[in-house]
């Protein structure tokens, strides 16, 4: 089974990197870009077929390591 | 008094930290490798700066899972003195020993220069030799020292007098409330982005950091009934 994890910066937390990229996009003429938020994308290959168990364990992975919930949100998808 | 300087793969301020202890307070001090599972012989644990685990995932995220960190948690609970500097501060927040998080500087630049700090809490074990409100000069060197916490946490930090240092001049990284260093509720665990171990001699441009080391020695001596010295 494959888990795809998205870690994003919380809405109320400043993302200076995103702001800089937004500025660059505008410089390039993409004036319609009003906001950019940069996050992380992780692919995990899991040796299990138990979806419910995988759900529980990937959540624990996110809470314990993959995201810092003080400043980041996470969501994930399971496939296969 | 016996000091431990933790060493993770990628620590790079460990030697400065050890030398600062040797030079300023002349007390026994050991490097302790991140795999150690026993810190019982130490009275103070110093978590130095650097780039532990190459800052993989997030600064301090991997280091907080190292075996020695269970012992640091135990030492903190026992009331032993714990100081995290720079990456050490990031590790202590990731480990949940201090609240909040350190995120990318708002300038996106690595800032490396002396800063003026106001001592906001001269009551911790690491700051008792400073005057309350005193301004000291200590260098910073970080790309991710922007302290963030939510409003509720900030209110409790203020209420419990947990803000130890604030940037007195320009805020170099965008930290909320100009916070440069904080402590836990008990005051025995302190984390700060500036490097006191790099400011222990006039030859280094400032010796304002030296009193962090004399402070903790005096705090330990008071606690243990021995005469304090300056």
> Considering only residues 10 to 69 of chain A, which have any Cβ-Cβ distance to chain B shorter than 8 Å?
12-14, 16-17, 20, 65-66, 68
State residue A2's pLDDT score.
97
Please answer yes or no on whether B107 and A16 come within 8 Å at the CB atom. yes
* Class at the top of the CATH hierarchy for domain B3-223: alpha beta
- For chain A, the domain total comes to 1
Answer for the pair B95, B64: CB distance below 8 angstroms, yes or no: yes
Q: How confident is the model at residue B229 (pLDDT cuts 50, 70, 90)?
A: low
Answer for the pair A55, A10: CB distance below 8 angstroms, yes or no: no
State residue B227's pLDDT score.
60
Q: Three-state SS for B175? A: coil
pLDDT at A78 > cutoff 60: yes
Whole-angstrom Cα distance, residue A19 to residue B106? Answer: 10
| Cross-strand bridge partners of residue B118 | B135, B166
CA dihedral sign, ordered A64, A10, B86, B155: negative
**Domain assignment of residue A14, given as a range:** 2-79
pLDDT at B226 > cutoff 80: no
State pLDDT tens for residues B96-151: 999 999 999 999 999 999 999 999 999 999 999 999 999 999 999 999 999 999 99
**Candidates B57, B65, B106; nearest CB to A16:** B106
Please answer yes or no on whether B101 and A68 come within 8 Å at the CB atom. yes
In three state form, how does the secondary structure of chain A look?
A: CEEEEEEEECCCCCCHHHHHHHHHHHHCCCCCCCCCCCCEEEEEECCCCCHHHHHHHHHHHHHHHHCCCCCEEEEEEEEC
Residue of A62 and A14 predicted with greater confidence: A62
Q: What is the mean pLDDT of the segment spanning A7-25?
A: 94
CA atoms within 13 A on the CB side of B192: 30
Contacts of A66 in chain B (CB under 8 A): 57
Q: What is the mean pLDDT of the segment spanning B180-197?
A: 98
Per-chain mean pLDDT for chain B: 96
Give the residue among B55, B16, B43, B35 at the shortest CA–CA distance from B145. B55
Q: What is the mean pLDDT of the segment spanning B22-26?
A: 97
pLDDT at B228 > cutoff 60: no
pLDDT at A1 > cutoff 70: yes
State residue A80's pLDDT score.
86
Whole-angstrom Cα distance, residue B51 to residue B74? Answer: 24
Task: Fill in the DSSP letter of residue B42.
Answer: -
CA atoms within 13 A on the CB side of A54: 18
> CATH no. for residue A12?
3.30.1280.10
- What chain B residue is nearest to A40 in terms of C-alpha separation? B57
Q: Three-state SS for B7? A: strand
């Amino acid at each position: 089974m494959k888990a795809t994890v998205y870690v994003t910066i919380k809405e109320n937390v400043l993302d200076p990197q995103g702001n800089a990229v937004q500025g660059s996009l505008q410089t390039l003429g993409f004036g319609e870009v009003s906001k950019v938020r940069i996050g992380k994308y992780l692919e995990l290959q899991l040796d299990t077929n138990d979806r419910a168990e995988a759900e529980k364990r990937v959540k624990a992975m996110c809470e314990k390591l993959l995201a810092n919930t003080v400043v980041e949100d996470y969501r994930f998808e399971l496939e296969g | 008094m016996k000091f431990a300087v933790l060493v993770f793969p990628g620590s790079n301020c460990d030697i400065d930290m050890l030398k600062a202890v040797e030079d300023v307070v002349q007390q026994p001090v050991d490097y302790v490798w991140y795999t150690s599972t026993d810190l019982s012989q130490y009275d103070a644990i110093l978590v130095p700066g650097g780039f532990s685990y190459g800052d993989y995932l997030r600064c301090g995220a991997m280091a907080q899972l190292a075996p020695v960190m269970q012992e640091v948690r135990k030492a903190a609970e026992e009331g032993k003195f714990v100081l995290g500097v720079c990456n050490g501060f990031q590790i202590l927040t990731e480990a949940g020993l201090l609240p909040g998080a350190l995120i990318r500087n708002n300038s996106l630049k690595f800032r490396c220069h002396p800063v003026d700090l106001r001592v906001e809490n001269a009551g911790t074990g690491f700051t008792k030799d400073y005057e309350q409100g005193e301004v000291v000069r200590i260098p910073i060197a970080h790309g991710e020292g922007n302290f963030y916490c939510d409003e509720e946490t900030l209110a409790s930090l203020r209420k419990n007098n947990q803000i130890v240092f604030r940037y007195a001049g320009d805020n170099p990284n965008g930290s909320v409330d100009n916070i440069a260093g904080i402590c836990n509720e008990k005051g025995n665990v302190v984390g700060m982005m500036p490097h006191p171990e790099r400011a222990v001699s006039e030859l280094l441009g400032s010796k304002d950091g030296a009193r962090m080391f004399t402070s903790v020695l005096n705090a330990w001596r008071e606690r243990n009934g021995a005469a304090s010295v300056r």
